[in-house]
Amino acid sequence: MYQFSYADIQSTSVADAKDRERELLTRSIDMLSAAAAAGHGSMAAVEALHFTNRVWTAFVEDLGSSDNALPKELRANLISIGLWLLREAEDIRQGRTNNFEGLIEVSQIIRDGIQ
């Protein structure tokens, strides 16, 4: 019988979490790209903005948790970025802008930075 060490399990768990985060961001980016093509009043836009809102709300809540192991300054910066993304998504939803590119580009940068 194979015994996993705590360090192996924790390392795998962190790697799995990062993979899930990258997958969620990739899905959000894909949905936002489709929404940009379809237009800000489309069903694709509604679905993309809702999904992006859920993803970033969860990220911001996790980053604000004292259990989060990231350095405090990095967490604060990511929370600021997340809040900007949420405001930008709301501006698109409200029809104040139709610029999905900012959401897409920033999400790509964050996704690509997850190691």
pLDDT bin (cut points 50, 70, 90) of residue 14 is: confident
Which residues, at least 6 apart from 112, have a Cβ–Cβ distance to it below 8 Å?
none
Q: How far is 18 from 22, CA to CA, in rounded Å? A: 6
Q: What is the pLDDT of residues 74-114, one digit of tens each?
A: 999 999 999 999 999 999 999 999 999 999 999 999 999 99
CA–CA distances in Å: residue 59 to residues 65, 82, 91: 10, 8, 20
Residue-wise pLDDT for 34-77, tens only, equals 999 999 899 999 999 999 999 999 999 999 999 898 999 999 99
**pLDDT level of residue 17 (50, 70, 90 thresholds):** confident
